[in-house]
Chains A and B, each alone.
Chain A
Amino acid sequence: NAGVTQTPKFRVLKTGQSMTLLCAQDMNHEYMYWYRQDPGMGLRLIHYSVGEGTTAKGEVPDGYNVSRLKKQNFLLGLESAAPSQTSVYFCASTLLGSDTQYFGPGTRLTVL
């Protein structure tokens, strides 16, 4: 039982490049979330999903897209990276009926 895993752990992009972050969970959780964490701030919700095939916007969705084609995977895409997207990205998941979020180890992204 690996919990919540994220790939990659680190990435450096140039402005305008695209990339996809992968989040996977093996706990059969219904809800999955993508957050970003910036220095001196708490986590801010980018997008979330309440089940396979469904996604919704969070607090800071602009510049990101997501997909949940399989229950265990939640993908976060950056179509045209900007320096303002330099951040640490966390994925989390929650079991239906529970309020406890389980977090992945994070992905540190730098956009030059």
Chain B
Amino acid sequence: GIQVEQSPPDLILQEGANSTLRCNFSDSVNNLQWFHQNPWGQLINLFYIPSGTKQNGRLSATTVATERYSLLYISSSQTTDSGVYFCAVPHTGGFKTIFGAGTRLFVKA
């Protein structure tokens, strides 16, 4: 089945810094999602981005489907950005979703 790899596994930032998180996937996909899991465990959908670039405030995401990767950019990071960021792609057959292992982000005040 499709493999999803995220890097880096851990990231520590000073508040105000920018960062880029990467998601590589092993096969062609027609859907990719980025999620944020906050320190209380809540999962929030950030982007649905099968291709191209989207922006939402300080966050933006770019997926290059032909090269099988997606990037999540966080600008001017805040302590509330801390948590784990997951990317997820559909398994072959559509209904199942395969998650990467996540990037754990800690933003220091």
Contacts and interface: CB of A to CB of B under 8 A. Distances in A.
Nearest to A102: B45
B96 A48 contact: yes
Interface in B74-109: 86, 88, 90, 95-102
Interface in B1-42: 4, 31, 33, 35, 41-42
Interface residues on B, range: 20 to 34
B86 A105 contact: no
B101 A45 contact: no
B43 interface: yes
Nearest to A106: B41
Nearest to B45: A100
B73 interface: no
Contact of B41 (A31, A33, A40, A105): A105
Interface of B: 4, 31, 33, 35, 41-45, 48, 86, 88, 90, 95-102
Interface residues of A, number: 24
A42 B43 contact: no
Contacts of A82: none
Contacts, number: 51
A48 B95 contact: yes
Contacts of B43: 90, 92, 103, 106
Contacts of B44: 103
B101 A43 contact: no
A75 interface: no
Contacts of A45: 96-97
Contacts of B88: 42-43
12 contacts: A31-B95, A35-B99, A42-B88, A42-B100, A43-B97, A43-B99, A56-B95, A59-B98, A99-B48, A100-B33, A101-B45, A105-B41
Interface string A25-55: 0000001010100001111110010100000
